[in-house]
Structures are given as C-alpha cells and as structure tokens.
Amino acid sequence: MYKLLLCWRYLRTRYIALASIISVMLGVATMIVVNSVMSGFATEMQNRIHGILSDVVLEVRSLDGMADADWHMEQIRRVAGEAIQGMTPTVVVPAMLSFRHSDQWITRQVQLIGIDETTQSQVSDFGKYLQHPENRRAMSFQLREGGYDTRDHQGGPEAKERPQMKRAGWEHRRLMAEVQAFNRMMAQQASPGGAPDSAGPDGAASPPADERPATNLVDPFAAVQRPRQEPVFDPARQQHTGAVLGIVMASFRRPTGEDSFLILPGDDVKLTFPTAGTPPKIATDEFTVVDFYECKMAEYDSSFVFVPIRKLQELRGMIDPATGMGMFKSIQIKLKPGVDGDAVRDKLAEAFPRSLYEVQTWRDRQGALLAAVQMETAILNVLLFLIIAVSGFGILAIFFMIVVEKTRDIGVLKSLGASGSGIMGIFLSYGLSLGLVGSGVGLALGLVFVDHINDIAAVLGKITGKPVFDPSIYYFYRIPTIKDPWTIAWIVSGAIAIAVLASVLPALRAALLHPVEALRYE
Amino acid sequence: MNDDLARMFARPSGTFRPSVLIRSRAAGGGSRSEPRPTEDGVSSRPHVAPDAADPQSRPAANSGELEETLHASLREGGDRPARLDTPGAVPEDRTAATSLPRTAHAMPPASNDYQLEAVGLAKSYRKASVEIPVLRDVHLAVRRGEFLAIVGQSGSGKSTLLHLLGTLDAPDAGSLFFEGQRIDNLPAADRDRLRNHCFGMIFQFYHLLPELTTLENVLTPLMIGKSVWGFLRRRRAYRRAAERLLALVGLSHRLKHRPRELSGGEMQRAAIARALITGPDVLLADEPTGNLDRATGQEILELLCSLNRQENLTIVMVTHDLAIAERADRMVRLVDGQIEDC
C-alpha cells in the first residue's frame, strides 16, 4: 500500500520526472502516426492492386498464347471448381500507343490488354474505375454520347473539377472532325495544286482515318490510298474499335490537383503491337478512346490500354482459321470470398505443366511492391522505437537522481520494516506510472494527429509554401490512414515496458541500499 | 503536560502485554460494557474526538479512552501470527513462552526476564583498508518494561549499537536475542517483519517522509506490514487508531499537515506515534531530543517516560546528554566500544 501511496505522491510532486517522459510521449505519438499512415497507404495500395488484378492468374508463358480458353476454364473448374466465382480470358501484349496532341504525335509504351467486356468486371474491379457511369454499370466499347464524370467519382470531396470531360464523347468527336475538315480545307486553299506537299508529311507519318475529309471536298489521295474503302469512314458519325486508356497517359495532373487532358473520349489513337507467330510482325490499327481507366495506381494508370479481346485476336492473327477459335494469353480467376488464394494457386500449378503455364496470385504479381512497403514500415518502426528506447535512458538518469534524493526515506522505510522488494516496488510502479502517463498522452496526441492529418498537412503546406502531400505525385487526394488497434496496443505496451525496464536499475539500487547507510546519508 | 500524560496513562494493573490484554478482555468482557473487540481487533467503542482546537483540555477528559486507544493499536500489532516463524520458534503466546524450556543456544542462554539481550556484539567499519572497530564485545540486557539509557560521546558507537539492536545492521560477531529467540541471524524477510511488528524506532532527525501527511506518516508501518487489500479493508479502523495515537501525542490538529509544516517537537511526536502504531514491544530511540530545544526535549522525554511507565513499554534510548539520560530507569555508558554500568 505504501508503494502505491508513495508512488502517487512522487508522481504528484516531481514534475521533472514528467519531463523525462516527453520523449516517450513523442515517440509513441510519432509511431502511431507513422504506422497509421503507412498501413493506410499499404492497405489502400493492396486494395487497389487486388481490385485491378484478379485473385489468381493462369498465364501462358508464350506471347503467342494458347488455343481454347473454354477447355482451360473447364480444366480449372475441374481442379478447383468449388473455390471459383468467375473467370475470363485475356490477351496481354506490349504495345505502343500514339496520339496526336497540338500537332504533335505523342507515343507511349503501354500494356495492351484484350478483354471480354462482359466478364472482365466479374473477376476484378475493372468496371469501378471507369469514368462513365453507364460503363461502370455495364462496360461497352461503344463511344457514349456524353455524360462522362466531370469530377473524379473516387476522389471524395477533395476531388477537383475536370471541366474538359464535359464535352467528352460524341460531341467532342464531332467537333474534332469539323476542326480537322476545316484545317484540311485551309491547307488546300493555301497551296492549291500543292496538295501532295502539304499532305505528304502528315499522310506519310500516319495514314489517317481521322484526317480524311469528312466533307464532300475532293481529295485525290483518298481515292488513291483507299480505293476499295466503301463507304468512306465518317469520323463525325463512326468510331473505330473502342479502347479504354489508363488516365495517366491521357492527362497530367497540375500541382493544384487539377487534371489536364491531352486527349478525351472520342479522340482516335493508334496502337502498334507485335503479331503472333515467329518472328512477330508489326501490326497497327486505329482505335477510338471510349473511356478512361483510373485505378489510382500510377503504374497501371499509365500503362494499361484495354481493347476488345476478339479484335485484338484478329489483329494479331490469333484466330485459328479452321475453327474460328481465339487464342488467349492468360485466364483471370476470381475466387469466392474467404478462399485461400495460395492453395488454389498450388492446386492449379500441379494441374498445369509448369513449362507452359505460370500460376500466380495477385500477391505474387505485386510481391516486390508490397514487400517494399512492409520493409519501409518495419525500418521506420525500428528507428522510432529506438527513440523511445533512448528516452528510457533519460528516465534511468532521472530515476537515479530521485533514488539518491530519497536515500534517507528509503532508509526510514527499511527501518520501519519495508523489504527490499517493497522498496523496489515503489520505483518500479513509479516507472510504470510514468510510462502509463507518457504513452497515454502520446496515444491521445497520436490519435488526434492521425484524425486531423490532412488539415495539418494543409496548414504545413501553407506555412512552407510547398504542398506536404502533393496530389500530382500520389494519386490520392487525402492521406489515407488506418488505426490498427493491435499495432497501437503494441506501441503503447512497448513504451510502458521500456519505462519499467529503465526504472529497474535505479529500483534495484534502492532495494539494495543498506538501511544504516541510507539513514546516515546526508 | 507531564501530569496530563501521567493521568491519561493511569491504569489499574502494572503489567501490560498485548496477549494478556486479549485474554483478559475475552475472559472479563462483562466488566467493561462498551469496548468490544471487533473483528478488526480494534475497539468498536465510539471515539469521542478530542477537541482539536484546544489540545490542553484534551488528555485529562478521556484518559480511559486513550488507554483504550493504546490497547487497540498495540493489540493490532500484537496480532502477528507468523512473527517468529523460524523452525523452533517460541510459541506465539509469549506468556507461555517464558515458561517453556529454552532451546539450546551456542551462546550462554539469556535470562527469561530479558526482553532484548545482546551477547558479545562486535562491529567495525572499514575505511579503505583500515578497519575501525566501533563495538567490541558489547553485553547488554534489557528487561521487559525497562527504560534504559545508553550514553556515550559522539562517535562512541551508540547509534551503531542501536542499529544492531534494531536489526538494521548485522553484527560482525556476537548474537542478539529478542524474547529469548536469536534474531541477528534471521532471514531478511523475518527481520523486516520483526522491525515492523516488534520494534519502534525514533531518530534524532525524526525522519518523517516529506511527501506524506502526518496521518499518512503514522499509518506507514501498517501499510508496510499489511497487504494492499488487507490495509484497505481495515483502513477505517487503522485510521481511527492513528488518529487516537496522534491525539495521544497531542497532534490531532496536525493530521493533514506535511512534515515541513510542523515544528521539531511536533515532528518528533509524530515520529513517536508512527513508532507506536504497530504496538511494538521495544522502542528504540536514537537521540530523540538531540535536535530539540530544552523545553521541547523535556516534553518528548516526558512522553517517553509515561509510555514506559503506563504502558510498560520497553525503551532503549541513546543520548549524549547525561541530564536526559538520568530520567531513565537505568543508564549504561558506552566507552571504547564496551558497555560500562554507571
């Protein structure tokens, strides 16, 4: 009882000891903030990656693909049917994307993915990331008249307006067709008879579907270049095969968080990719952008281009002329909720020869990235915990001073019959209560900080004039945070343990004091 | 003050032993109607609060009650089932113990009359490599109920002797007996319990704990001796006992004061109350008046004398002041580390 009483009184009368636990407090608060932000990022990222990728992917090693997706899906169902919710075949091929922006051709390296638009949304969150509300409900590669989102529907209240998207769709396409027709007319008027010169470079660089005259102007080259093309392609009324572009390759984000679009749904792009067979040849075709794909993972948003799988199979020569059956590159598998992806992967890896197929879970595919984030979190935790450990030495020093100061009292207590362990108990419980106070205040501080982290970031950004959290770098508008109660419990108990451990040595010294010497201590 | 105390300690029979008290209570419970021992062992008799505003009028009014207080508080300390629980320890009932044949000791057995007996105690301090003998072959026997004064010059080893008697320190040679039981070689836990239950100590510099109030300081030995639960369960009774003891030493108006708000005499009286709260058998006083002016010192001395006379409390007091030592029943002199009778 006297231990508790004295411990309480020491706590009340010695505020200098509270100073020694400020670093404990700060350490705890920082650790909570860092862990919340890191796990917020990691979880957000995992969710997105998981949403983008299907649970398990069966991939053919050859770029040429493998015939008969239906037979494969049947086999997969036979091996692990009870765990499978949905499947879809895809063709994945590296490609070049070219589009025209202010009289310049911009070319990007992309991952061209042929998908079955009806089943793709069943195996991943593909549909959720599109910009047209109708497409989110039911994906279609047909260009919509209009009605694309003018604000990022995933961005929350911070999302900035995207005014350019207002005219996306057929409206934009018609406008662009008119502009091009007008430009062509102007060019022809400027150099009558010199049409080959003026159209030459343009025409040579791109046999343009979109630059063909939409009006009834006479173009001698139209007949020469496409003698058999009847009827004439009218860009104001017709579209090429639809393509969904990752939003990052079509736009750039200003530091203010606003997006500027280089092209819009309704514009045409060219895709260049290798055909199947050895050696691969180059195939190029035109596509019309029908929507943007925005999964908030810059890596994917800047490289994914989705086109209908059938069209891609045709263009790459992946269709067996005899049967009309297309080849596939991979099969995306969606598992039922709660099913262990690793088990399914192992089962499938058993069933399909490894030399021809590769089976991976979404974690395997993004393992390096996830591991990197985990590593970062672990290192930060070690460093921050060292801060708390260092503060343990501060507690140790102050406790030693308190023990020296209290030497006579310790002697008195011993003369009154207090045991060594009892004296030790005073200082251990003193350390414990300091740890409790320190980590308690740190806990409150950390939680408040995490709750208001975006406001704090905004204020800091204003003060320093540099945004702390640059939305043009991170594709989140807010700093994502997750407060994991277990992590917090570990941090707090670790800090308390350090405070107690730091008080062990002084407490031991107090316990071992000789009562007579302690009583004589001046 | 002296007369007041004398009156307040006035009691019919001379012998006062906690165990005797319990027995006589149990047997003659009818003789006194009011004080029935509760399960706590503290009198359930309603306590008439002493007039705190006028301490002078306090003691005379209720001498019987104050006597009761001491009984209660002493009996509280006497309630010690495992006091000497070493193998071959004397039975708990000390009246019976005195009649039992003494267990054989290596040292010559002490007489049964002696409550505290030192046989051939020696102690030396080591400073660097030089050994400085402080006590050599000290023989000292204290009778039950005796007021013994040990005088000696500064540095003669008086305090060291007192610390040895109080088992705060271990002698280099010799042995110490309490109630016929050797105590200097007991395990540390038993010695701690012994100090808590059987010895009360007061010091020249009072040694009250500065963080605690007077009342809490007095309660400290009980807090040490009991478990947290045991203390909290009976805290009301303990608090009452402490308040009565503080009233007895004339400090009932200083319950909530911190030691630094008390005068020297008040602090020493609080220290005496603290020493008495567990109902010890022996009070060890280390220059209790050494830091006080003459009048205050006299008051303290009177208090000790009356405790000794009325409660039959054994007191061993160390002092360098012959005038003070003369108030004791017996006086011995510590010269060159040895005891000389005066």
Q: Kindly give the confidence (pLDDT) of every residue in chain A, 522 residues in length, as a single tens digit, with 9 standing for 90 and above.
A: 788 888 888 888 888 777 888 888 998 999 999 899 888 888 887 877 777 778 888 888 887 788 888 888 888 888 887 888 888 998 889 999 999 887 788 898 999 999 988 888 788 888 888 888 888 888 888 888 888 888 888 776 767 788 888 888 888 899 888 888 888 888 888 766 544 444 444 444 444 444 444 455 555 555 555 555 556 788 888 888 999 999 888 888 777 777 888 888 988 999 999 988 888 889 999 999 999 988 877 788 888 999 999 889 889 888 887 887 888 888 888 888 888 888 888 888 888 888 888 898 888 887 788 888 889 889 988 998 888 888 888 889 888 998 998 899 999 999 888 888 889 998 999 889 989 999 999 999 999 999 998 888 888 888 888 777 766 566 566 788 888 899 999 999 999 999 999 999 999 999 999 888 888 887
Residue of B197 and B84 predicted with greater confidence: B197
Q: For residue A500, what are its two tokens?
A: 């107690």
Q: How far is B279 from chain A (nearest CA, A)?
A: 13
Q: Do B211 and A515 touch (CB under 8 A)?
A: no
User: Token match 């029935």: residue?
Assistant: B36
Q: Which of A6, A415, A422 sits opposite B211 (nearest CB)?
A: A6
| Strands of the B173-178 sheet, one edge to the other | B130-143, B114-127, B173-178, B181-182
Q: Is A201 exposed, middle or buried (0-12, 13-18, 19+ CB in 10 A)?
A: exposed
Among candidates B108, B93, B128, B89, which has minimal Cα distance to B23? B93
Domain boundaries, given as residue ranges, for chain A: 2-47+368-520, 54-152+161-365
Closest residue in A to B232 (Cα) is A1
**Per-residue pLDDT, A449:** 93
Give pLDDT, residue A188. Answer: 86
Instruction: Quote the pLDDT of residue A221.
Output: 55
Question: Which of A16-30, A425-439, B45-59, B207-221 is predicted least confidently?
Answer: B45-59
Residue A457 CA to residue A335 CA, distance in Å, equals 39
> What local confidence, expressed as pLDDT, does residue A287 receive?
93
- Number of H helices and E strands in chain B, helices first, is 13, 10
- Of A9, A418, A419, which has the smallest distance from its Cβ to B211's Cβ? A9
Task: Indicate the burial class of B240 (C-beta count within 10 angstroms; 0-12, 13-18, 19 or more).
Answer: buried
Residue B333 corresponds to which tokens in the numbers above?
């002199």
Which is it for the CA torsion A146, A151, A152, A157, positive or negative?
negative
Contact between residue B20 and residue B26 where contact means Cβ atoms under 8 Å apart: no
C-beta atoms of B207 and A515 within 8 A: no
Residues of B in contact with A9 (CB under 8 A): 211-212
| Residue B193 parent element (H or E) | helix B188-197
Q: Dihedral through CA A194, CA A198, CA A204, CA A205, nearest 10?
A: 180
Question: Rg (Cα) of chain A, in Å, rounded?
Answer: 34
A302: phi then psi, degrees, rounded to nearest 5:
-100, 0
Phi, psi values for residue B312, rounded to 5° = 60, 35
Mean pLDDT, chain B, rounded, equals 72
Mean pLDDT of the B299-322 span: 88
Label residue B112 by pLDDT band (50, 70, 90): low
Strands B173-178 and B114-127: antiparallel
**Residue A181: alpha-carbon gap to chain centroid:** 42
Residue B116, both tokens: 């505290």
Distance (Å) from the alpha carbon of A399 to chain B's nearest alpha carbon: 17
Please answer yes or no on whether A10 and B197 come within 8 Å at the CB atom.
Answer: no
Reply yes or no on whether the pLDDT at B21 is more than 80: no
In B169-259, beta strands by DSSP E: 173-178, 181-182, 199-202
| A518 reaches B (C-beta below 8 A) | no
CB-based burial label for A400 (10 Å; 0-12, 13-18, 19+): middle
The structural domains of chain B, ordered by start, are 2-82+145-169+186-341 (3.40.50.300)
pLDDT for A102: 78
Q: Which of A241, A245, A249, A265 is nearest to A315 (CA)?
A: A241
Contact A242, A142 (CB under 8 A): yes
Q: Cβ contacts of residue A239 below 8 Å, gap of 6+?
A: A142, A143, A173, A288, A290
Q: Which residue of A has its CA nearest to B219?
A: A2
The answer to whether the beta carbons of residues B318 and B287 sit under 8 Å apart is: yes
DSSP-based three-state secondary structure for B338: strand
**Partner residue opposite B221 with nearest CB, options A10, A13, A416:** A416
Supply the pLDDT for residue A439.
92
Q: What is the pLDDT of residue A384?
A: 87
DSSP, collapsed to helix, strand or coil, labels residue B7 as helix
On whether the CB atoms of residues A251 and A260 are closer than 8 A, the answer is: yes
Residue B50 is predicted with a pLDDT of 37
B207 and A5 within 8 Å at the Cβ level: the answer is: no
Please indicate if any CB of chain A lies within 8 Å of the CB of B163.
yes
Residue closest to B18 by CA, chosen among B183, B142, B175, B197: B197
Q: Is B170 on the interface with A (CB under 8 A)?
A: no
Give the model's pLDDT for residue A164. 85
- Is B127 within 8 Å of chain A by CB? no
State the smallest CA–CA distance between residue A400 and chain B in angstroms: 18
- A69 within 8 A of A318, measured Cβ to Cβ: no
Among B residues 232-271, those touching chain A with beta carbons less than 8 Å apart: 232
Look at residue B63 in the predicted model and tell me its pLDDT: 42
Nearest Cα to Cα of residue B119 among B128, B106, B132, B130 = B106
* A8-17, B91-100, B283-292, B297-306: the lowest-pLDDT one: B91-100
Res B188: pLDDT? 86
Question: Do the beta carbons of residue B147 and residue B317 sit within 8 Å?
Answer: yes
What dihedral angle (degrees, nearest 10) is formed by the CA atoms of A220, A221, A223, A228? 180
Q: What is the dihedral of CA A309, A312, A317, A320, to 10 degrees?
A: 10
Provide the b/e sequence for A325-356 (b: ≥16 CB within 10 Å): bbbbbbbbbbbeeebebeebbebbbeebeeee
| Per-residue confidence band for B185, with pLDDT thresholds at 50, 70 and 90 | confident
Angstrom distance (rounded) from CA B66 to CA B10: 10
> Which chain A residues are within 8 Å of B228, Cβ to Cβ?
1, 4
> With an 8 Å Cβ cutoff, are A417 and B194 in contact?
yes
Sort out which chain A residues have CB atoms less than 8 A from B189's CB and list them: 419
CB-count exposure of residue A371 (10 Å: 0-12, 13-18, 19+) = exposed
Q: Does A415 touch chain B (CB under 8 A)?
A: yes
DSSP A498-515: HHHHHHHHHHHHHHH--H
CB of A335 less than 8 A from some CB of B: no
Distances from the Cα of A406 to the Cα of A281, A426, A501, angstroms: 88, 11, 20
Q: Which of A414-423, A460-469, B255-264, B302-311 has the lowest mean pLDDT?
A: A460-469
- The answer for B 275-304 residues in CB contact with A (under 8 A) is none
Ramachandran sector of residue B287 (left: φ over 0; alpha: ψ -120 to 50; beta: rest): left
Rounded average pLDDT over B93-98: 37
Q: Which residue of B has its CA nearest to A4?
A: B228
Q: Tell me the pLDDT band of B326, cut-offs 50, 70 and 90.
A: confident
Q: Report whether pLDDT(B85) > 50.
A: no
Is residue B106 within 8 angstroms of chain A, CB to CB? no
Q: What is the pLDDT of residue A101?
A: 83
In the DSSP assignment, the letter for residue A144 is P
Q: In 3D, which of A354, A121, A106, A138 has the Cα closest to residue A248?
A: A106
- B163/A516 CB distance under 8 A: yes
Tell if the CB–CB gap between A516 and B188 is shorter than 8 Å.
no
pLDDT at B73: 45
The pairing of strands B147-151 and B330-335 is parallel
